[in-house]
Structure 1
Amino acid sequence: MAETTRRVLTLLSLLESRPTWSGPDLAERLGVTTRTIRRDVERLRELGYPVHGEQGSEGGYRLGRGRRLPPLVLDDEEAVAVALCLRQGAGGGVAGIEEQALRALTKLDQVLPARLSAEVHAIDDATAALPPAGGPRADVGLLTRLAHATKETVRVRFDYTARDGAVTSRHVEPYRLVTTGRLWYLFCFDLDRDDWRTFRIDRIGDLHVTTFRFQPQPSPDPVEHVRRAFPRAPWPHVTTVRFGAPLAKVRARIPEQYATCTADGDDATIAVCGSDNIDDLARHLALAAFDLGAELTVIDPPEFAARMRTLAGLLVG
């Protein structure tokens, strides 16, 4: 019985990992016969998991949206609470977990009953939150829809607003969502430009997820592509500071999008940082020094050192 339970749970995990599995593929992965797979699928259905089977050369098994939440996982209240927390996390509520929260939210959203999904959206829409200091945030609903499209390998259309305000219509094959810790980007193949492109999620509007499937092709590394496509911006305010903390800790605290960090011995780091607003830059660096428990020294320019002294005086006073 224990072996059967482990196998059924492994089968459920496989069904959650991609849209469709053929019976022979599942049998090969689990080391059993297709007859055993059929029996295990029936066990999942008896437990309330909406496993759908389709005949034909392109058929197989897929985990669909059920009329009720499958038992032995979460009750309704727990499901709503988890979904809301994941939406906050995906939107940057907790630094460093945005991508993981979005993956979990996408998986939960796949099986969340429509009535509970509506409840989650109603609570989320009725909740106001102060915008994070880091700048614009992507809409979590938009992120979830793009994540579904990426997982299901279906094409999407959207309007994109460039930095200069120009709006263009795009038709793409989505491959990956990439986050820098502050901004989200869509890495995709642009069908009209016949080339790989990267788009900031917060500039995407009027998204339409089509039903046209595409066959994934070999692609560049998404993270490297985003890094090259969006190099560090020519910030209007740049300063060089020294943290009394090791390089690894400083890099973990300050996103590389906003600072170039180099080691200054084993226990100190030189960071060249930029921002659109000098007061925001001063506050962020002061907070980073506090989080690191490290001494902060301004190397250049002198006017920024004066700004930091003013901030320190306000904090002391």
Structure 2
Amino acid sequence: MNTRQWRLVRLLNRGEHFSARMLAEECKVSIRTIQRDMTVLEANGYPIYSEPGVAGGYRMLPHRNMPPLVLTNEETIVLFMLLEWVGQIPDFPFGTIRQEVAERYANELPKMTEQQIVKWKDRFRFQAVDTPPSPRNPALLDLLESGLMGNILYETTKGQKSIVVDPIGLSFEHNRWYFYGRTDRGFRQFRVDRVLGVSLHELPATDLTFSDLEKNMTHVPMTTVKLELTSLGERMLEGILPLRRDRTWQIPIRELTFLGRQLMRLGPEVRVIEPQDLREQLIRQAEKMIAVQQSDKPFGQN
């Protein structure tokens, strides 16, 4: 298939009806060329519906199977490796489908390509990530597809809480699944492993995307966090902050308390240079920890 024929596929994928003349004008070719192109598309598995007559034309049938991709040998290997990598992400929303696609894909490969993939699989290792179980991912995916707002039962540090959310989407960050949405308190991030239940709300969602979240972040007060780290601290920081050469990050001020709790896990392998508020927070947390370890009182009592 040539460039013009791929362009015709994109036009017809809009779900609209096009006359041969409209397509010919769009592609700057003759009507006869468009008719030949449609024959080529049908031969390649595209379900083109043609309507004869003056008011006739072409449209793509909905709910169809996708036509096979024409890939080079190298593209085939890369795609298979990507499927293998996705398979290591726990609770991937389309995990079952991914496995079926990988098996069907492998069964259709030429013997020589299959042998190359087996060879490369022994040279690459996709280590399974240490991710808390996130069994609510399918329910959250259903919420995103529903076009409605949702009720989320969430486990907070102060107990369970029901929250009405205008959904944005799922994000896999720092080896954890997060769900983003807008609540009556603004944009929020929820750890999926702490989501206990999901139900649909009667109000329609507003079709928010991560682009809306990023635009909102430009108005969120930020602060500079600068750290000193040992070599072990750098390794332990993975999953908390992306490693930067200058060890400096821009963090929303409202996230400092949460960041402080995470940095406590690094113990003596990290030192906060700035901001002073974060440094004092770690000192207070360390003092509380020492007091707990030195106390002989029943645990949990002051």
- When normalised by structure 1's length, the TM-score is 0.41
